[in-house]
A and B are shown apart, each in its own frame.
Chain A
Amino acid sequence: MQRRVFMKGCIALGASSVILPQVSILEASEPKGKTRIFFVKNSYNLKHENKNGLTKLWVPLPQETSYQKVSDFKFSSNATNAYVTDKNSYKARTLYAEWKNGGEKLLEVTYTITTYERNADLSKATASTKYPKDVAHYLKPTAHIPTSGKVKELALKITENSKTPLDKAKAIYAWVTENMYRDNAVVGCGVGDAGKAIEQNIMGGKCTDISSVFVALLRSVGVPAREIFGIRLGSSRYSKACGSSDEKGLAKITGGEHCRAEFYLDGAGWVPCDPADVAKVILTEKMTLNDPLVKEVREYFFGNWEMNWMGYNTARDFVLTPTPAQKPLNMFGYPYAEVEDEVLDYYAPAAFAYSFISQEKL
C-alpha cells in the first residue's frame, strides 16, 4: 500500500490558522527600505542506518515580521504525517514530518520571501527600562545565556561608563567586535555557549558563538537582547563573506545558516545588529578593524540589517512540538531529526540529507 502523500498548495503562512504572525506594534512601525524577493526551495531525502526506525523531522520556517513576508508556501512529502505548528515556548514556526515505516523519506518545502532593509532610528531611543512583558522575556537567562557570575562581571566592566541602555549596547558591541574573532574551525554556526566562552575566555567562534556572547552581556546589564537564527539568501553589497549568488541571483544556500542579534530600546524597538559578520568580513577579506570596509560594516551592523538573509526564530534552550526524545534543543536554525532516540547530524547536510537553494527575483 502506498503511503499517504501530503500536498499543501499555496498556503499563505500568515493566513494559516496554525501559524500566527508575531509582529509587535513597534516592529510594524519600523521604516522599510529596499525590498528584495527570493524564491526558496528546501529538499530533504533523509538518510540513516536504521532505515525502519520511527523518523521525525522538525524544519524551521521563516517568521512573519515587518521586515520579511512569506507567500506561496507549499510542501509535499511522502511522510506518514506532516503539519505546521508554532506550539512551543518561542512560537518558532516549525514544519513537522514523521515516517513510521521504512523506505525513502522525502520532503520538499517551497516559498517566496520578500525582505525589507532594516534601519533602526536610534534617535527615538529613550533611557526608560520599563519593557513590555514579551520584551522583558529576553532579559532572562537560559542554559547557554547565563546573566550572572563572570558574564555579569564582564558586562559591568564593559559598561562602567555607560548611562543609558543605548550607551551600554554601544559599549558591548564595540567590545565584542574588538575582542571576538571568527574561527572557521568551529562546526556549523557554533553552539553559542556564552557562559563557557566568557568563563574560559574562548573568544573565537562563529555567528552563534559571537551573537550569544553579545546577547548574554546585554541581558546581564538589563538590556533585552536575543539571537535570531536564520539563513543567508543572496548577495551582499559589502562582501561575499556576508552572502553571495551567481549573476542570475541563484544561491546554493545549504550551509548558509547565519545567526544575528537584536537588542531592545524603549522608543526605538528591536534594534538589528550583526557583530558576527563584522568578524567574518575581517577574516574573509584579510582586514583589520582599521580598514575602511570593516569600519563601514562595523558601523552599519549596529542598527541595520541588509536583508539578503531571513530569520527563522529567536528560540534558545526550548522544547519542540511534538516533544522529541532529546530535549531541550539549544537552538533551532538547522533542521532537526531523530530516528528513534538518535539525532541526525544537522551539521552534515550530505549525510542528513538536505539541500537548500534560493533564487532572487532580479
Chain B
Amino acid sequence: MKKWLILLLPLMLFAKEEVVIKVAEMHCPMCTTAVKKALKSVEGVENTKVTLETKLAVVTAKDGIDDKTFLEAVKTTGYEGVIVTRHHLKD
C-alpha cells in the first residue's frame, strides 16, 4: 500500500484543475486584464484566460486551491466572482 502511495505522490503533487469563474460586472476590455493579473498572482495558478464577451475567467491551477482564494483575488479588482465549474485535468 505504502509503495502505491509513494508512486502516486508525484501525481498528487502535480495534479491540476481547471476553474471557471463568472465575473459578470466586467464591462470593458481593461477589466479582463485586471482580473487576469489578479488571478495570476494567486500562488499555484499556471494560466488564466479571461474573456469579456462571455465574462468568464478560465484558470488552470494546481489542485487544492479553495474557492475563497480565487474569489478574493477577483475581489481585489472591485468585482464579484462566482465559481461556475471546477474539474481535474488529466495529464
Contacts and interface: CB of A to CB of B under 8 A. Distances in A.
Contact of A343 (B27, B33, B49, B53): B33
Contact of B51 (A326, A330, A338, A345): A326
Nearest to B37: A342
B27 A143 contact: yes
A336 B27 contact: no
Nearest to B26: A326
A325 B27 CA distance: 15
A193 B27 contact: yes
Contacts of A144: 27
Nearest to A320: B29
Interface in B18-76: 27-30, 32-33, 36, 49-53
B33 A336 contact: no
A301 B33 CA distance: 36
Contacts of A338: 29
Interface residues of B, number: 12
A193 B78 CA distance: 15
Chain B at the A interface: mostly helix, strand, loop or mixed?
mixed
B29 A326 contact: yes
B76 to A, nearest CB: 16
A329 interface: yes
B30 A346 contact: yes
Chain A at the B interface: mostly helix, strand, loop or mixed?
loop
A341 interface: yes
Contacts of A330: 27-29
A268 interface: no
A327 B53 contact: yes
User: Residue among A329, A343, A345, A346 with the most chain B CB within 10 A?
Assistant: A343
Contact of A324 (B28, B29, B33): B29
A191 interface: yes
User: Residue among A326, A329, A330, A336 with the most chain B CB within 10 A?
Assistant: A326
Nearest to B30: A343
Given A326-B51, A326-B52, A342 B36 contact: yes
A346 B28 CA distance: 12
Contacts of A328: 52-53
Contacts of B50: 341
A329 B28 CA distance: 6
A327 B27 CA distance: 10
Contacts of B27: 143-144, 191, 193, 330
Contacts of A344: 33
A175 interface: no
User: Residue among B27, B32, B50 with the most chain A CB within 10 A?
Assistant: B27
A39 interface: no
B30 A342 contact: no
A343 B29 CA distance: 7
B4 to A, nearest CB: 41
A191 B29 CA distance: 11
A167 to B, nearest CB: 33
11 contacts: A144-B27, A325-B51, A326-B29, A326-B51, A326-B53, A327-B53, A328-B52, A328-B53, A329-B28, A343-B29, A346-B30
Given A191-B27, A325-B51, A343-B30, 13 more contacts: A191-B28, A324-B29, A326-B32, A327-B29, A330-B28, A336-B29, A338-B29, A341-B51, A342-B33, A342-B36, A343-B32, A344-B33, A345-B30
Q: What are the 3 A-B residue pairs with the smallest beta carbon separation, nearest first?
A: A326-B29, A330-B28, A343-B29
